[in-house]
């Protein structure tokens, strides 16, 4: 049984939440769980923080990652936290760092190993994240038997990294059944079905609370339209299931419509999530920017990556107002190929390119991105996931060779 909890700031948070929890028959327990998770506050906050501002940006005139989001501080040497992760993470993060070193990028890496991610975010990791405010993160597979929040969710929610941005596009040299596809997915990253509010009411019956709030929905919608505006994008599509979840997804859709009204020069449409999946595997070129609640963003993001070449190719970022954590866009752990030197580091390297643009180091970003895309044009540099025989180190060296 799924109970949608909708928090509307136009009414009392307490009354709205109490009504929904009472309707579920478990008001006190659910309210307590939600309050512990930090989803509700007795203080009213602005729908979109006034501190959510973005710097000037460099227009991209080539195939590759969009330059936005920006917002980091320009320094002569910026320290970046690196969390290699497990499975393929050490190989792909090493590839990234070697390429950055070869390109002379003015970035210092602070590498931290997390030996037991099931225990949450260690203090030294959280300290490093808050000190440096920029990080590269590798894969941390989730234990399906654990009742705790995963390491990944703890990093995102604990630092209010509200926007997950994934850019998927046709890469020259990589085979795909589709052409002219260039999609940016902007996923709400802090609530929805990932709220972690579930419990067994009686033996054999489990309730899972889907939390959709006006504040979070307005914030992610505003971010999506700012992204579209700054990158010359033409259309934003809201993906939802409001025909069934009328209050929860209905609120998300309503918020997107309200924000869309402020951007008349951006085309806006909405699409039910099941139809979205069908359209993606039939006519994906129709999509531009997509804004989605948490779970749908996860599912749709993997579909888009799959139709364009696979999970190892595309970049991603988790953006907050004061911090950004960059990681491969399709969150595939690669647990079956770890330690074999065959993982495709492209997605991690291009995530690093996004990070450089965030740090306003666009000249380095453009140079590395060009080297990566040139390497992919030659099939001898393709790793096994895209039909080749190259190793991780082979691909890394090909990128380094293209830097010169």
Q: Which residues of 336-352 are buried (b: 16+ CB within 10 A; e: fewer)?
A: ebbeeebbbbbbbbbbb
- Please return the burial class of 8, using the count of CB atoms within 10 Å of its CB with bins 0-12, 13-18 and 19+: middle
The residue-averaged pLDDT of 5-20 equals 33
Its pTM stands at 0.83
Give the other-Cβ count within 10 Å of 75's Cβ. 12
Residue among 64, 122, 152 nearest 371 (CA): 64
Q: Kindly state the average pLDDT of the residues 244-259.
A: 98
- Domain extents for the chain? 55-403
Please, which residues have CB within 8 angstroms of residue 55's CB and are 6 or more apart in sequence? 70, 71, 360
- pLDDT band, very low/low/confident/very high, at 86 (cuts 50, 70, 90): confident
The yes/no answer on whether domain 55-403 falls in CATH 3.40.718.10 is yes
Whether 13 has a pLDDT exceeding 70, the answer reads no
pLDDT tens, 291-338? 999 999 999 999 999 999 999 999 999 999 999 999 999 876 667 787
Q: How far apart are CA 281 and CA 288, in angstroms?
A: 15
> What is the rounded distance in angstroms from the CA atom of residue 111 to the CA atom of residue 103?
19
Instruction: Report residue 76's pLDDT band, with 50, 70 and 90 as the boundaries.
Output: low
Residue 100 has pLDDT above 90, yes or no: yes
CB atoms within 10 A of CB 243: 12
195: its two tokens: 């709220």
As a whole-number percent, the residues of the chain with pLDDT over 90 amount to 69
Residue 219 corresponds to which tokens in the numbers above? 């914030």
Residue 15 has what pLDDT? 34
The whole-number average pLDDT for the span 53-77 is 49
Residues 6 or more apart in contact with residue 2 via CB below 8 angstroms: 193, 207, 208, 209, 210
352-394 tens-digit pLDDT = 999 999 999 999 999 999 999 999 999 999 999 999 999 999 9
pLDDT tops 90 at residue 117: no
């Amino acid at each position: 049984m799924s109970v949608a909890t909708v928090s509307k700031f136009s009414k009392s948070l307490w009354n709205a939440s109490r009504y929904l929890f009472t309707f579920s028959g478990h008001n006190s327990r659910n309210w307590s769980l939600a309050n512990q998770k930090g989803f509700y506050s007795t203080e009213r906050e602005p729908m979109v923080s006034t501190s959510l501002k973005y710097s000037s940006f460099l227009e991209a005139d080539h195939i590759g990652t969009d330059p936005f989001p920006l917002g980091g501080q320009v320094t002569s040497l910026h320290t970046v936290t690196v969390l290699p992760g497990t499975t393929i993470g050490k190989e792909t993060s090493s590839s990234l760092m070697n390429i950055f070193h070869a390109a002379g990028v003015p970035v210092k890496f602070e590498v931290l190993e997390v030996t037991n991610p099931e225990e949450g975010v260690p203090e030294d990791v959280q300290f490093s994240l808050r000190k440096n405010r920029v990080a590269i993160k590798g894969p941390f597979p989730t234990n399906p038997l654990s009742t705790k929040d995963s390491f990944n969710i703890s990093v995102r929610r604990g630092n209010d990294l509200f926007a997950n941005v994934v850019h998927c596009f046709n890469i020259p040299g990589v085979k795909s059944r589709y052409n002219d596809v260039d999609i940016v997915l902007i996923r709400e990253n802090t609530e929805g079905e990932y709220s972690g509010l579930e419990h067994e009411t009686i033996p054999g019956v489990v309730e899972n609370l889907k939390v959709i709030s006006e504040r979070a929905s307005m914030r992610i919608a505003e971010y999506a339209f700012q992204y579209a505006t700054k990158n010359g994008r033409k259309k934003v599509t809201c993906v939802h299931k409001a025909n069934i979840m009328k209050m929860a997804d209905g609120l998300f859709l309503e918020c997107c419509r309200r924000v869309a009204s402020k951007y008349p020069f951006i085309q806006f449409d909405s699409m039910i999530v099941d139809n979205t999946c069908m359209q993606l595997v039939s006519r994906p070129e129709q999509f531009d920017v997509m804004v989605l609640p948490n779970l749908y963003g996860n599912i749709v993001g993997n579909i888009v990556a799959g139709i364009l070449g696979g999970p190892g190719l595309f970049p991603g970022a988790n953006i907050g107002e004061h911090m950004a954590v960059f990681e491969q866009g399709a969150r595939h752990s690669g647990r079956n190929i770890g330690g074999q030197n065959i993982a495709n580091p492209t997605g991690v390297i291009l995530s690093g390119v996004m990070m450089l643009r965030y740090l306003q180091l666009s000249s380095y970003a453009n140079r590395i991105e060009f080297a990566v895309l040139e390497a992919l044009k030659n099939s001898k540099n393709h790793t096994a996931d895209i039909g080749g025989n190259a190793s991780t180190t082979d691909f890394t060296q090909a990128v380094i060779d293209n830097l010169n």
